[in-house]
Amino acid sequence: MDLPQPIIKNYAWGSRTALARIQGRNTPSSSPEAELWMGAHPAGPARVTRGGETVTLQDVVAGHPERELGADCAARFGGRLPFLLKILAAEQPLSIQVHPDRNQAREAFAAQLAGTGRGPYTDDWPKPELLCALTPFEVLAGFRTREEAARVLNGLALPALRPVAALLEADSGAAALTTALRALLEWPERTRGRLVDEVVRSCARLARQAGPYAAPYEAVTRMARHHPGDIGLVASLLLRHQVVEPGAALFMPAGGLHAYVRGVGVEVMAASDNVLRAGLTSKEIDVPELLRITDPSVRVAAVRPRLLPGPGTTHSYDCPAEEFALHRIALSASPTPLTPASGPRVALCLDGSALLSGPAGDTLTLGPGASCFVPDSDEGVTVQGTGTLFVASAGSPALDASAPLTRTV
């Protein structure tokens, strides 16, 4: 078992209090702290001490993949730790985005390397995500139904948007949603600013009324303070607006358009950087590639924790991701087997104190906000203490899994 030094990502949308409070540091922090990374992702690998030397967890795994990951996990993922565990603290909205599936990522990245493809692909991995809320977490997740999206746009009573709503009303298929999205993202530059301003003003008026869409209209007015003039503010109204309550989670599959608006949560994701953006960003928006990857039929799934049989109180957040799984353990004075029992695991003590014990008598104590890496070679680990422990691990093999995922840059 290793006690790594996690990596804090200081993105502008982060909080100056959330991560510091979890870790017991003084608040406010000197700069926004958006994400706490606990893993071996190439863009921010945690550092561990092995044999008296400080090295990255990425190098540790690469040096002895079968020992650290287990033979099955090492073979499936080309010797890489396939997941990244985070605490995410959003005080401002993140970009509207979508991620490719496994085959799309492979093909697009290979084409990009060959100079025949397009898109901002950095590796050949998919990037499914699971977000477990620690506070009420506001999200835009998946498209509304075609009919509801038309009602939301028509509710603004803006003549300029009537043709977009008509696209939704005229077609009976889900593809009408991406047709409407294209119409907004390709809105002429000369009138785009005026449209966004009219939408924001109309949303502010409607948010003060007790209508069925007051909450998403109000969200647009808030997001406009951080992204003035962004056409993504209009596009956000095509997406389902919801607040995830603490303890519940959302699974973000490939092709599902989404954005995190505000809140604090534990996130586990495949260790990839493949992101295509649709708005609320200053970064490039490749509309054709975005629409090729976006699947309007995807419904972002709510995930309720499932109590596992056996000793202790361990819940699993079930989702169809080969790269990761997430468990939550309510700690007690009695030792509880660490779940899962084998494979690579990253354990995060969210609050309280956790004592992990190995079969050889080795122990490791975690305080609030601390995490540890448990390699496959450490089997039979138990945990006890107070508070809550999250455990990320590799997921189960996909039924249609083919060649292992290997490449990253």
Catalytic residues: 277
- Among 342, 376, 345, smallest CA distance to 64 is for 376
What angle do the packed helices 162-170 and 146-155 form, to 10 degrees?
A: 160
Q: How far is residue 387 from each of residues 2, 278, 350, measured CA to CA in Å?
A: 20, 39, 7
Q: Which two tokens stand for residue 294?
A: 């976006």
Q: Tell me whether residue 218 is exposed, middle or buried, using C-beta atoms within 10 angstroms of its C-beta: 0 to 12, 13 to 18, 19 or more.
A: middle
DSSP-assigned letters across all residues of 104-115: HHHHHHHHHHHT
Give 307-327 as a DSSP string. EPSSSSEEEEE----SS-EEE
CA 129 to centroid of chain Cα atoms = 4
Give the contacts of 93 (CB within 8 A, at least 6 positions apart). 13, 222, 223, 226, 227, 259, 260, 261, 262, 280
Token readout for 253 is 């599959």
Report in angstroms the alpha-carbon separations of 253 from 108, 127, 262: 18, 8, 20
Which residue is it, tokens 């599902």? Answer: 256
